[in-house]
Amino acid sequence: MSVRAVRNAIAGNRRLWVALAAGIAVLVVGVALWLLARPEEKPQAHFVEVADSAYILPKPDPVATFSLLTHDNTSFDNAALKGKWSFLFFGFTHCPDLCPTTLAVFNQVHRMLGEGPQNVHDVQFVFVSVDPERDTPQVLKEYVGSINPEFIGVTGNGADLAQLSDSLGVVYAKVPGTTPEQYFMDHSSAVLLINPEGHFRGVFAAPHVAQKIVAGFTAIREQSR
């Protein structure tokens, strides 16, 4: 199984499985779809488990060239991923559960890494919106700022988002709602880790727990020295 297939296999919630089965199978050709319906399963093949729900790529994988926009209307591209460890999560601000919960976990991880024996500050937390129709930079600024002013909200048009999401194996799909404005976005549930060289390094599988992410991140850092 390819690295991309394994990444895609980490995705998911049960609504995503329904949406994919209904009409976007083209996005995930060659993927182990059964894992999308069971996100608790451990990824196979190239990923190696280093801690509970934390997995590392033995060899860092380059991220495709991309260019997005931050909540401050500044460029966010490959250069923005260099010099720090980056935790990425793909979602949308109208998300009722997974996104706010994950960002709350990010806030705990941010605090835990900066305290006590960890004393880790070379990290950044990035929320990538897959809903550019509604998630303008201003909306993202208010959303991520309400959780942690140091967090970065990022978005872009469909093609620009695809450059990054495809490189990391992230899948998402628009699901119609009761009105054209009240649609839902199904999306991958994994947290992705990019190393200071700007390469894809690891994955944290859902459900996300701050202590598990910190332990997994510590193990990945140690193996990356």
Each domain of the chain, given as residue ranges in start order, spans: 47-223
- Type of residue found at 70: T
pLDDT digits (tens, 9 = 90+) for 160-171: 999 999 999 999
Structure confidence at residue 119 as a pLDDT band (50, 70, 90): confident
- Type of residue found at 125: F
Q: Are 157 and 144 in contact (CB under 8 A)?
A: no
List the one residue out of 143, 120, 129, 144 whose CA is nearest residue 213.
Answer: 120
pTM above 0.95, yes or no: no
pLDDT digits (tens, 9 = 90+) for 107-116: 999 999 999 7
- Position 213 pLDDT exceeds 70: yes
CA angle 153-156-160, nearest 5°?
A: 130
pLDDT of residue 155: 97
Q: To the nearest whole number, what is the mean pLDDT of the chain?
A: 84
pLDDT of residue 3: 44
- Position 7 pLDDT exceeds 50: no
- Position 203 pLDDT exceeds 60: yes
Which of 3.40.30.10, 2.40.70.10, 3.10.20.30, 3.40.50.970 would CATH assign to domain 47-223?
Answer: 3.40.30.10
pLDDT of residue 46: 81
Cα dist. 128→60, 107, 109, 115, 166 in Å? 21, 16, 18, 26, 13
Q: Are 202 and 222 in contact (CB under 8 A)?
A: no
Coarse DSSP helix, strand, coil percentages of the chain, rounded to the nearest 5 percent: 35, 25, 40
pLDDT digits (tens, 9 = 90+) for 132-187: 999 999 999 999 999 999 999 999 999 999 999 999 999 999 999 989 889 999 99
- Position 5 pLDDT exceeds 70: no
pLDDT of residue 38: 34
For residues 158 and 160, give the distance between their C-alpha atoms in angstroms, rounded to a whole number.
6
